């Protein structure tokens, strides 16, 4: 039986710059170690030195991609940010995804802008709820996933049990790249199946092999019972797991798995290597009328996130654009397909956390921030003139619906500006009732409401509170029969609202009423998601 079931490293293509981009996110349940791993990856790639200003400002914690005050106070990551850095001839774009489950909407959209994801799993806890949710989003788009089983320096579940659990819960095939020698206090290094060597806990090579069986000739190793158990379980794993196959990985059906410790820096260099050597190049972007290949010569990109007031001193508004094709150059004129308007992009930015520099050039896979005053919204497609619309950027039906109450009535105008700005960012959804003039916000989690009121108060100077309206369910409504839709809206007028774009939304007291409406109006579609254009 062959024990070396991983592919050879392919040479790096050099012809087209976009082929050297790796645009990825890290997905995990809170506390699995995403922040620690991010810091370690940046350090291993030398990126923390590259961004000297970041390091100098506030010590190691400033490498965190979190920067909002509330995040610091509460220790959660609310906004998605971007870190662009070089590694081994490649440009890596790491998109941070908020870890808290209340921010899933923002996270979903960020995941529309990546080509790969690193899934961090706590070795003691296995698959947790948020990991599962995020994984499902990745699966919707068949995003290739590298699995990093973290905290191997602590006692945890055995590697075989973990693999079993992941395969079972996610229905995802795994194949080992790095295998641990013991765990917790017994941790004695790892076997690197790609470079065919055994390393000690400090990452120093202590043996090399051609076939794994060759290691049985190494007396020092075979005298170590922990090593022998590791070898045995590795053989069992390989017997039951498929061989690594680049194509299957790129199709999102097979995940290379590494065991390591972010805190101790174990396996982090190998994780970068896996991403660099096997991670996918920018993928064709789903769009209408046709997907956009990254090799297309014309520039296209889409806005996956808008962030207002990132820098309190500048009170700016940045649209984060993922480039899908072409070579973008500073000063270029691009058309916003939604509005039909052209704009000169004179100050595009690259980001490293909250530090930024002017982006002179960018290619498919790159993320550029475009400062603007409200012309760009999440979901907008930018082109050199073609009428192409990127698809798959969803709005989710809110799970909490509240009327906004203003305590200072002199500030109605500021409140409406604040709500529409934050709605464009995707922090909240805003609706207007068809009867009456109430402002209604819809969010997917309670914490999102707290963020909303904190930001409206801090950034716009408007104190607001929320009150219940008696609605728990919101559904966008559509029909192939426009007259039927009109009849439905007329019949349900008191339960109807419009979203920012004017699309009709049905509000129901609870799931039972929503179901009832569905039965009564079979020609109406009740949608839980809506694409943002
Ligand atoms: P998150 O961003 O996914 O929420 O996780 P984060 O990196 O903040 O890590 C959560 C906790 O797990 C932290 O401990 C961190 O030090 C610890 N941790 C991360 N990676 C490893 C690892 O490989 N091994 C071990 N043993 N621990 C790890 P904390 O006590 O909550 O915070 P801190 O005081 O250490 O910052």
Ligand 1 atom 4, closest CA: 31
Q: Is the pLDDT score of 385 beyond 80?
A: yes
Distance 33 CA to ligand 1 centre (A): 5
Q: Indicate the average pLDDT of the chain.
A: 86
Quick check: CB of 265 below 6 Å from ligand 1? no
What's the DSSP call for residue 128?
A: -
Alpha helices in 64-115 (DSSP H): 69-74, 104-111
Question: What pLDDT, on the 0 to 100 scale, is given for residue 378?
Answer: 85
pLDDT tier at 423 (50, 70, 90 boundaries)? confident
Query: Given a cut of 70, is residue 301 above it in pLDDT?
Result: yes
How far CA 74 is from CA of 70, 78, 194, 313, 424, in Å, comes to 6, 10, 40, 23, 25
- Which residue is listed with tokens 């229905």? 171
Hey, what are 249's tokens? 């990985």
Would you say residue 78 has pLDDT above 70? no
What are the angstrom distances between the C-alpha of 12 and each of 16, 27, 271?
11, 26, 17
Cα of 243 to ligand 1 centre, how many Å?
Answer: 32
Is 153 near ligand 1, meaning CB less than 6 Å away? yes
Give the integer Cα–Cα distance in Å for 188 and 205. 12
Query: In a mutational test of the pocket of ligand 1, which residue from 29, 34, 36, 97 has the highest number of ligand atoms less than 8 Å from its CB?
Result: 36
pLDDT above 70: residue 79: no
pLDDT of 54 above 60: no
Q: Is the CB of residue 34 below 6 angstroms from any atom belonging to ligand 1?
A: yes
Q: Which residues of 463-500 are buried (b: 16+ CB within 10 A; e: fewer)?
A: ebebeeeebbbbbbbebeeeeebeebbeebeebbbbbb
Give the atom of ligand 1 at the shortest distance from the alpha carbon of 150.
Answer: 23
155 — pLDDT class (breaks 50, 70, 90):
very high
Give the tens place of pLDDT for each residue, 189-219: 999 999 999 999 989 999 999 999 999 999 9
Closest C-alpha to ligand 1, atom 30: 31
pLDDT digits (tens, 9 = 90+) for 335-345: 999 889 999 99
For ligand 1, whether the C-beta of 262 sits within 6 Å is: yes
**Closest CA to ligand 1's atom 32:** 31
pLDDT at 52 over 80: no
How many residues in the chain?
533
pLDDT at 459 over 90: no
pLDDT score, position 11: 55
Q: Which atom of ligand 1 is nearest to the CA of 120?
A: 3
Q: Is pLDDT above 50 for 275?
A: yes
ipTM of the complex: 0.97
Alpha carbon of 151 to ligand 1 centroid (Å): 9
Of 180 and 57, the one with more pLDDT: 180
Tally Cβ neighbours within 10 Å of residue 137. Answer: 20
Residue 160 has pLDDT above 60, yes or no: yes
């Amino acid at each position: 039986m062959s024990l070396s079931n991983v592919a050879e490293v392919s040479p790096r293509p050099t012809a087209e710059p976009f082929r050297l981009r790796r645009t990825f996110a890290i997905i995990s349940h809170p506390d699995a170690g995403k922040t620690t791993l991010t810091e370690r990856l940046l350090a291993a790639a030398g990126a923390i030195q590259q961004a000297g200003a970041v390091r100098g400002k506030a010590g190691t914690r400033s490498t965190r991609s979190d920067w909002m005050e509330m995040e610091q106070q509460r220790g959660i990551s609310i906004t998605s940010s971007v870190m662009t850095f070089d590694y081994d001839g490649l440009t890596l774009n790491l998109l941070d995804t908020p870890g808290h489950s209340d921010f899933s909407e923002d996270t979903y959209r960020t995941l529309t802008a990546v080509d790969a994801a690193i899934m961090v799993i706590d070795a003691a806890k296995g698959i947790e709820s948020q990991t599962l949710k995020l994984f499902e989003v990745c699966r919707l788009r068949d995003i290739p996933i590298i699995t990093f089983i973290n905290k191997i320096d602590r006692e945890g579940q055995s590697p075989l049990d973990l693999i079993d659990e992941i395969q079972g819960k996610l229905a995802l095939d795994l194949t080992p790249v790095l295998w641990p020698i013991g765990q917790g206090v017994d941790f004695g290094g790892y076997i690197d199946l790609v470079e065919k060597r055994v390393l000690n806990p400090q990452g120093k090579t202590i043996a090399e092999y051609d076939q794994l069986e060759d290691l049985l000739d190494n007396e020092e190793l075979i005298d170590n019972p922990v090593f022998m158990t590791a070898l045995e379980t590795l053989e069992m794993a390989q017997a039951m797991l498929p061989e690594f196959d680049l194509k299957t990985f790129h199709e999102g059906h097979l995940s290379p798995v590494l065991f390591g410790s972010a805190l101790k820096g174990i396996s982090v260099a190998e994780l970068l290597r896996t991403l660099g050597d096997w991670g996918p190049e920018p993928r064709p972007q789903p769009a209408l009328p046709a997907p956009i290949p990254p090799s297309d010569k014309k520039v296209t990109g889409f806005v996956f996130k808008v962030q207002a007031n990132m820098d309190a001193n500048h009170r700016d508004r940045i649209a984060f654009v993922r480039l899908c094709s072409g070579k973008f150059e500073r000063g270029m004129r691009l058309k916003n397909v939604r509005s039909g308007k052209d704009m000169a992009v004179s100050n595009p930015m690259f980001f490293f956390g909250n530090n930024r520099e002017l982006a002179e050039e960018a290619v498919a896979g790159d993320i550029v921030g475009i400062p603007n005053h409200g012309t760009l919204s999440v979901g907008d497609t930018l082109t050199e003139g073609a009428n192409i619309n990127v698809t798959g950027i969803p709005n989710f039906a809110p799970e909490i619906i509240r009327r906004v109450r203003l305590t200072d009535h002199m500030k109605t105008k500021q409140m409406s500006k604040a709500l529409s700005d934050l709605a464009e960012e995707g922090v909240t959804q805003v609706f207007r009732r068809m009867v009456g003039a109430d402002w209604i916000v819809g969010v997917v989690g309670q914490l999102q409401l707290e963020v909303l009121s904190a930001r409206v108060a801090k950034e716009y100077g408007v104190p607001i509170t929320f009150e219940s309206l008696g609605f728990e369910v919101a559904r966008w409504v559509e029909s192939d029969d426009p007259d039927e839709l009109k009849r439905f809206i007329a019949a349900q007028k008191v339960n109807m609202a419009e979203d920012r774009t004017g699309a009709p939304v049905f509000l129901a007291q609870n799931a039972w009423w929503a179901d009832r409406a569905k039965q009564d109006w079979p020609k109406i579609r009740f949608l839980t998601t809506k694409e943002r254009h």
